Amino acid sequence: MRIQLSDHFTYPRLLRFVFPSIVMMIFTSIYGVVDGLFVSNLIGKTPFAAINLIWPYLMGLTVVGFMIGSGGTALISRSLGEGKKARANEEFSLLVYVSIGIGLVLTLVGMITLRPVAALMGAEGELLDIAVRYGRIVALALTPFMLQTTFQTFFITAEKPKLGLLVTVLAGLTNMVLDALFIAVFRWGVEGAALATTLSQFVGGIIPLVYFSRPNNSLLQLGKTKWNGKALLQTCTNGSSELMTNLSMSVVNALYNLQLLRLAGENGVAAYGVIMYANFIFVAIFVGYAIGSAPIVGYHFGAGSTDELKNLFRKSLTLMAVCGVMMLALGLWLAPSLSRLFVGYDAELLALTTRGFRLYSLSFLLMGFNIFSSAFFTALSNGPVSAAISFLRTLLFQAAAIFLLPLILPNADGVWLAVVTAEALALIVTGFFFVKLKNRYQYA
């Protein structure tokens, strides 16, 4: 049975609707993990550290795609909820074309700035050379990657979450197969890893572009549009939290690497890389739920269905609490196995990674509430509140903790616990906004 945005959502119906988004995000994370596995085990620790050093900058260049996707989803789903389908399609088309233009500009910026940025982040010698070689190839796919991230949310708004999942699976399989071919068989080293990633992102970005450009049975289709500065401004405002989240993550990841280079050397950067790969899979569940539920919230907000908003709010908080407990238990249990999978060849690095991952896992208990709240306020077209939560959670609180906790705690423990501290402080802010704004939006 087809599930529509206008439906009343019970737990089973809500979980069925968001399930493709969750699987999509998990699968996206898994094929990133496969990248790391091939590089670490077949190319070496130094290339693995180099890739993880430059990756935050590459992701920082693509954050506009996340902003347009999430902010545009809030705008378009609200238009659909108001019964204005033609306007929704004009807004959709404008945002896709703007994404392409920005992506081309950022590709050029990335190619020019890779080396000085890598050096600024602490890379030198072989580490610097490998990071630049890898980054220049991946930078060629910034435009299709931005399209891929944008279309991930637009597929859900178009009531085609399963199709979005299929595209992600195809892109992921492309990356996995080419990793095996280029790295294990052809022995192309980091260039092979970069090329596999680049080609997979073309698959993830171009297939949706072709689908929405042709007649289809979804709610959205690319076509003629006109310049709408107000819609673009609303999109940027609504999506500012996602822009802030992803940009902050890139900045904070660079700060983590700088601190870990100082405290634990190359091993610290490699350990953090492993933790991030594993973390992507866990966080993907929370992010997938947030992405999958946001169009429902936006639709019912546009339709004025306050009873359904209350229903979605209550059920979402319950699900985030249950998932948080489960993710914490899994993180503590799987830390040794996941660490061994990446760096089992180095006993010292393995011990550092396992301890770091267990401490980092404490954050899973809290982060689901913060991730959902940011997406929730974005869907309600309250970009400033969403951005405030994201800014504090992903940048200010973490940056402060990264520098202050190592002064108190021994070795790298302070760095690993920075994210836990940030999530706890952000949860206080989230609770404040939930209470303050409940009467305005009637969700509780």
* pLDDT confidence tier of residue 319, bands split at 50, 70 and 90: very high
Q: Which residue has the tokens 């059920």?
A: 315
Over residues 307-320, the mean pLDDT reads 94
At 304, the pLDDT band (50, 70, 90 cuts) reads confident
Span 300-324, average pLDDT: 93
What is the Rg, in whole angstroms, of the alpha carbon atoms belonging to the chain?
A: 21
- Provide the b/e sequence for 381-393 (b: ≥16 CB within 10 Å): bbbebbbbbbbbb
What pLDDT sits at residue 251? 81
One-letter amino acid for residue 274 of the chain: V
User: What average pLDDT does range 56-66 have in this prediction?
Assistant: 79
Instruction: Say if CB 334 and CB 386 are below 8 A apart.
Output: no
CB 285 within 8 A of CB 331: no
Spatial distance between the Cα atoms of 28 and 172, rounded to a whole number of angstroms: 6
Q: What angle do CA 268, 242, 436 make, to 5 degrees?
A: 110
pLDDT for res 25: 80
Amino acid identity of residue 428, one-letter, is I
Model confidence at 241: pLDDT above 70: no
| In the predicted structure, residue 1 carries a pLDDT above the cut 70 | no
Tokens of 329: 């238990």
User: Residue 237: pLDDT band by 50, 70, 90 thresholds?
Assistant: confident
pLDDT of residue 285 exceeding 90? yes
* Pick from 142-151, 200-209, 312-321, 352-361: least confident: 142-151
The SS3 assignment for 84 reads coil
| Predicted pLDDT at 68 | 86
Mean pLDDT, to the nearest integer, of 176-191? 93
Among 116, 375, 384, smallest CA distance to 236 is for 384
Q: Is 19 exposed, middle or buried (0-12, 13-18, 19+ CB in 10 A)?
A: middle
Q: Look at residue 327 in the predicted model and tell me its pLDDT.
A: 94
Instruction: Kindly report, residue by residue over 339-351, the tens digit of the pLDDT.
Output: 998 888 888 889 9
Tell me, what's the pLDDT at 70?
73
